[in-house]
Each structure stands twice: as C-alpha cells, then as structure tokens.
Amino acid sequence: MINTIVNKFLLSQKKGQGYFCIAVDEQLKIVDYTGEAKLLGLKNPKYKAPIFDYLPILVTELFDSNFEIPFYNIDHDHVCNINFLKSDKLSYLVLVDKTEIFHVTQKYQQFAHNDNITKNKFKRLAENLKKAKQKLKKANQEKATLIAMLSHELGTPLTSILGYTELLLNNDINTDKGLKIIHRNAVYLKQMIENTLIFGRSEAGGINPHIEEIKIQDLFSTLNTIIFPTAKIKQLSVQITYPDNDIINIDIARTKQILINLLNNAVKYSDEGFVELKYSLKNNHHVFSVIDSGIGIPQDQQVNIFSPWERVNEYKTQGAGIGLFISQNLAHAIGANLKLKYSSLEFGSIFQLIIPLQNIEPTNEIDYLKKENPCRGKSILVIDDDNDILDLIQVFLQPSGLTIFTATNMLSAQLLLKKNNIDLVVTDYYLGTIKADSYLDKIKRKHKVPVLLMSALPSKNFEKSYKSQGFDAVISKPIDRKSLLATIIKHLNLG
C-alpha cells in the first residue's frame, strides 16, 4: 500500500526507525495499514473504522499537508511523531518511532539541567574563591604596608639610638643630653612595637584594664616631654591645660598610649600654630582633648579615619594609618570612647578621649623601690637567654636586698636550683628552642617554688592560659621596675 509519497517521506526520516503507516479514505476511515504497530505500543486497527476511534487524540485536528505532532506520547514507553500525508486518492497517517530519541533528548535535557546546576555551583564557588583571593590580596597588601611602615618607623628611632650610643661611648656628647635622646627614641620605639603587636593580634579587647591612681599634672608632664621635642622642631607651640592637683583613677598605660598617638598626629599634621592638650571633668567623665591648628580632615573622609590603613590626605609626613584604629580599640578595651569632635581644613582638628569615672579601687602597687632592702635574705633565680635582660633585671632588683642567681638555659637553671636555696623563679617563655612550660612541672614539683613568667604584652587570654599551665604570675615585658619588684614581693609573701 505504501505509495511513493510515503516512501519518500520515510526516506527523509532517519533510517532504522520503526514506523506504522495507516491509509485513510476521504471520510478518514482506515482502509489499509503497514509497519509495526506493536513497536509503537499499538494494536493493528480495524478496517473501515474511523481514524478517530483508533487514535482519539486526533479528533480535534484539522488534517492538512503540514500536519505534524512531534513527540506524541502513546504511553509511558512509546513516543512517536505523527505526520499526515495527502495523495490523490488516499491520505496517510505515518507514525514514526521517536522513543529512543525522546529518551536521549530527555536525558540530555536532564543532563543540561544538572550541568546548569553544577555550572551555577561552580560559578558561586568561583565567586567565593575570587572574594577569598581578594581578601588574601588585601591582607597581603596590608602585611606589605605594615612591613614597609615598620622598617621606616622603627628604623628612624633606632638610627638615633645607635648614633647617640656611639657618640656616648666615644665621649663625643654630653651624657645627660645623649641619654635623654636615647630614652625618648626608645620610648617611641616601644610605642610603635606595642601598636604593631596589638594590631597583629587584633585583640585589644583581650587587654586587662589596669586602673591606677595618677596626678594629671604628672601624666601631662610625661606626655609633654614625649611630644615637646618634635613640636619644637616644627616650631609648634604646645599648650597644656589641667586643673591643679587633680588625682584621677585610669588605666594609665593605655590612656597614655592613646594620647601619645593623638598628640603625635596633631604634631605630624600641623605645619604651624599650636598643639593643645586639655583635661576636664564633665558629667562623671574624664575628657581629654587634643586640639591642633593643622591641615584638618575633609568632611567626607572623617568617617574613615578610624579604619585600619586609612590615610586621608596625601601629606608629606605619612604614617601607616593604624594609629587611630589601634587607639580606638584600646579606648574600647578600657571602656572609653575616642572620637573626632571637630575638624575643618581651615582651623584644624579636635580629638576627644572620654573615659567614664571608675568606681574600681586603683591597683596601685606600693613602691617597694623606696623601701630599704625589702627582700633581704631571699634568693631568686632569673632565667632568660638574653644576657642583657639578665643584667638589666639584676640592676633593677639590686636595691631590694635579693640574692639573684641567673641562668641562660634550663640546664644551668636546674643545676642552680639543686645547689642553692632558691625561693622564687622568674623565667622568660622562649629559651632558645625550649619553652619554659615544658620544665614548669618539674621545677614546681621538685623545688616547690613560685614561678613567674615574663611575657611581651600579655593579654587577658594569654594570662589565663599561662596561669592554667601553672605559672604563678605573668610579668609584662618591657619590664617595669616597680611592678616587677611588687610581684616578686607578693609571691615571696613579704607584702
């Protein structure tokens, strides 16, 4: 029955695909069929039956030569294309099996869908990676900036220290003058190192506020001696205002550190005029104001200055942009507030440090340095792998009447402990490649003495962890003579 039209059509379809062809007359009644009905999930039709009885799906269709239903689902397992071909006498409905192609297409679509999901996942992953990379790049840049800044900032005072030490050693300079310059630069160096360490740890929040009593006059005159020389070089006048004889309870070290940062900036960013430091007591708050007649900070930049690495002006003297960030962290750590109160390009800037009045009892130590031989008859052992530090501690503690043994390593320390009657041990944490905590147990068990640890800038967390390791107290480095002696006396039960 298959005439040339059907043949031609079937040839145009891909070879090897099953088909079922039904011939219908003008009334669309089935007159013949050929092909594999079973392959398409169909039974053979009855002759003379209307095509719509056999394929009800077609009931609404208008047959013309363009008629085609692509991918018709006969049932779950069979899919075919249905085409209508017209010839002179009969017409033909040709059902071409598309089951396999359909399933492949479906699989492909599923794959494309999954592929899309995977691509999206990858896209998100790539975006996250990009962000992480940018963060890393920023951190690297910050590190590079920090190193560049450090080598500059630390190099300058170090050059003075080395230069003036040499002058002193060669007797080329008045001792008093030389020592003052060396001391000033060392103080600045200490300040820089502290700032850097705090920034590195980013844990100013972990700092223990240490409230002490101080006369404002004493605090301000120390600040003046630090700031005055640089202000003088720039011919800036330094004005200091405070009420007479006022004694306040504050965290002296941190307050000083913040005010030095502010005063340094005031001098750094002023070319002429003045730098002023003021104190007043307002609404139960200590208010320290640092005022300058400098270059000022543009309005739109003022919000940024407390963020790390922010520099506002391309100014001749540049810092690293971490001073204010660190100062604000320190201020928060001691429960205070640091703010830019006012700044204009015309008049300069006012920064304010506002500290609430503390109800906490000051932890002022008794100044045992003023007492005569408070530790007479007692012996201590100091362990540090740096001989200069050992010498310094010996000089610091000489007037106390202590007998001081020193060791640069744990081996000689143990020998000294064995041979002498030692009442207390002070040790550095890193002794060459050895850490002091690995010997702590042994010393404490065998000799039953308190062991004090010296550590650079101990934070709350460090102090806690050292104490849980068994150290009796932590002494902060750089060592303060007065508090070193006070801590030793406390742990010798002499206080």
Residues engaged in binding ligand ADP (CB under 6 A): 265-266, 269, 292, 294-297, 305, 310-313, 318-325, 349
We find the least distance from the C-beta atom of residue 271 to ligand ADP, in angstroms, to be: 11
Instruction: Give the nearest distance from C-beta 262 to ligand ADP in angstroms.
Output: 7
Local structure of residue 47 (DSSP, 8 states): T
Q: Which two tokens stand for residue 257?
A: 């550190």
| Cα(260)–Cα(254) distance, integer angstroms | 10
Minimum CB separation of residue 236 from ligand ADP in Å reads 12
Six-digit token pair at 395?
A: 């000089």
Structure tokens at 242: 């405070």
Peptide bond between residue 478 and the one before it cis (omega within 30 degrees of 0):
yes
Distance CA 77, CA 46 (A): 23
Q: Closer to ligand ADP at the Cβ: 319 or 478?
A: 319
- List the structure tokens of 51: 């095509």
CB closer to ligand ADP, 327 vs 400: 327
- CB nearer to ligand ADP: give 35 or 294: 294
Q: Give least dist CB 302 to ligand ADP, A.
A: 9
**Closest separation in Å from C-beta 382 to ligand ADP:** 37
Where are any strands of DSSP class E within 64-201? 68-75, 78-86, 91-97
Q: Which is nearer to ligand ADP, 191 or 455 (CB)?
A: 191
Nearer to ligand ADP, 322 or 454 (CB): 322
CB of 227 to ligand ADP, least distance (A): 13
Q: Between 79 and 297, name the residue whose CB sits nearer to ligand ADP.
A: 297
Contact (Cβ atoms closer than 8 angstroms) between residue 234 and residue 267: yes
> Which CB atom, from 50 or from 319, has the smaller least distance to ligand ADP?
319
| 403-407 sheet: strands from edge to edge | 403-407, 379-383, 424-428, 451-456, 473-477
Calculate the CA 53 to chain-centre distance. Answer: 77
Tally helices (H) and strands (E) across the chain: 12, 19
* Least distance between ligand ADP and beta carbon 144 (Å): 16
DSSP conformational letter for 471: -
Can you tell me the distance from the alpha carbon of 330 to that of 257, in angstroms, rounded to the nearest whole number? 9
Q: 3-state DSSP call for residue 70?
A: strand
- Let me know: does 375 contact 396? Beta carbons within 8 Å: no
Which of 408, 406, 412, 357 is closest to 382 using CA atoms? 406
Least distance to ligand ADP, CB of residue 255, Å: 17
Residues whose CB falls within 8 Å of the CB of residue 26, separated by 6 or more in sequence, listed in order: 91
Minimal CB distance to ligand ADP: which residue? 319
Kindly state the smallest distance separating residue 237's Cβ from ligand ADP, in Å: 16
DSSP bridge partners of 277: 240, 290
Cβ atoms of 195 and 322 within 8 Å: the answer is yes
Measured from the CB atom, the residue of 111 and 315 that comes closer to ligand ADP is 315
Would you say 18 or 321 has its CB closer to ligand ADP?
321
Nearer to ligand ADP, 280 or 318 (CB): 318
User: Smallest gap, in angstroms, from Cβ of residue 193 to ligand ADP?
Assistant: 15
Place of tokens 């000799």: 447
